[in-house]
């Protein structure tokens, strides 16, 4: 890779990180601040797209431009899919059944549009992130066979990619479905039961807490006290932000550490065989 291509690729990576960070901010924003964030995100996406086109034009034989073009459409797809969180937060803050129905309908429409964008991304480059995004959408839509198809594709073809471990874990969790129940406080804090953080906490509940008598007692007590608490949190942008930052984020960091240690032990065991 020439120095100029390395510089242009580094710039692509930076724009990619910028839009990912802004997308996360937008997913957590209240309806009042979301509009300005959306405009800024669109501006940043336009810059990112121009840089992609520049790299493709200057280095037509390089995969860098194609990879980022696929990532660009993947990001658009997931932003579109998760934007339903705005409707959910509005419905919760106004206690509106009508808005809740609209959110449900919007969710299905967004899923179709997101899947079309992901297919477009994969038509450009066989990008594992797009397959994993499709698996998450299919899983949220309860289309388990479709989700498993995407995950198995990643596992068979992208063993050196960082998405591989995530795909392995997600496949195991789909094939061993959790018990019913909701993480009420997390859903209120993140605005959607499909948020990655909510899914991670739900999986911790199902794969760890529900496996012991003490854990089941804790879950039962949580279900008793959390619905009214979640209702209060959902009505306040400040409380949602505080819950995410002060309560849920430390828990998620612990879960990430536990997952990394488990993967390390698993890999060390495999290497000894």
pLDDT along the chain (273 residues), means of 10: 85 90 74 77 90 92 91 87 53 45 61 91 93 88 90 92 86 67 74 78 82 80 78 79 87 77 56 53
Environment class of 87 (CB within 10 Å of its CB; exposed 0-12, middle 13-18, buried 19+): buried
Q: Evaluate whether 257 touches 204 at the Cβ level (below 8 Å).
A: no
Residue 23 has a pLDDT of 77
Domain spans of the chain?
A: 3-96, 184-263
Residue 68 has a pLDDT of 93
pLDDT digits (tens, 9 = 90+) for 233-270: 877 778 888 888 888 888 888 877 776 665 555 555 55
Cα separation, 245 vs 239, whole angstroms: 10
Q: Is 33 helix (H, G, I), strand (E, B) or coil?
A: helix
B/e letters for 233-248, b = 16+ CB within 10 Å, e = fewer, are bbeebeebeebbeeeb
Residue 92 has a pLDDT of 47
Residue 152 has a pLDDT of 94
Give the containing element (helix H, strand E) for 192. none
Q: Evaluate whether 64 touches 5 at the Cβ level (below 8 Å).
A: yes
Residue 218 has a pLDDT of 82
Cβ neighbours of residue 227 under 8 Å, at least 6 residues apart? 184
pTM of the full structure: 0.57
Residue 93 has a pLDDT of 47
Residue 267 has a pLDDT of 56
Cα separation, 252 vs 257, whole angstroms: 9
């Amino acid at each position: 890779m020439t120095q100029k291509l390395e510089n242009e690729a580094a710039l692509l990576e930076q724009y990619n990180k910028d839009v990912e960070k802004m997308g996360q901010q937008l997913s957590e924003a209240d309806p009042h601040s979301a509009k300005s964030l959306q405009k800024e995100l669109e501006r940043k996406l336009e810059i990112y797209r121009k840089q992609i086109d520049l790299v493709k034009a200057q280095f037509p034989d390089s995969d860098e431009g194609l990879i980022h073009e696929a990532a660009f459409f993947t990001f658009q797809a997931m932003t579109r899919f998760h934007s339903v969180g705005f409707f959910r937060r509005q419905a919760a803050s106004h206690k509106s059944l009508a808005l809740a129905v609209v959110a449900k309908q919007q969710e299905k429409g967004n899923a179709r549009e997101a899947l079309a964008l992901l297919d477009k991304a994969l038509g450009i480059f066989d990008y594992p992130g797009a397959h994993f995004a499709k698996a998450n959408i299919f899983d949220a839509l309860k289309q388990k066979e479709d989700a498993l198809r995407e995950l198995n594709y990643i596992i068979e073809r992208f063993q050196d990619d960082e998405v591989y471990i995530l795909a392995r874990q997600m496949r195991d969790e789909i094939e061993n479905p959790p018990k019913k129940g909701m993480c009420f406080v997390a859903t209120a804090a993140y605005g959607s039961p499909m948020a990655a953080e909510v899914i991670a906490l739900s999986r911790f509940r199902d794969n760890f807490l529900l496996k012991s008598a003490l854990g089941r007692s804790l879950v039962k007590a949580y279900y008793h006290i959390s619905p009214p608490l979640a209702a209060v949190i959902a009505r306040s942008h400040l409380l949602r932000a505080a819950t995410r930052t002060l309560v849920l984020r430390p828990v998620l960091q612990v879960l990430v550490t536990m997952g990394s240690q488990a993967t390390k032990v698993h890999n060390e065991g495999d290497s000894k065989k």
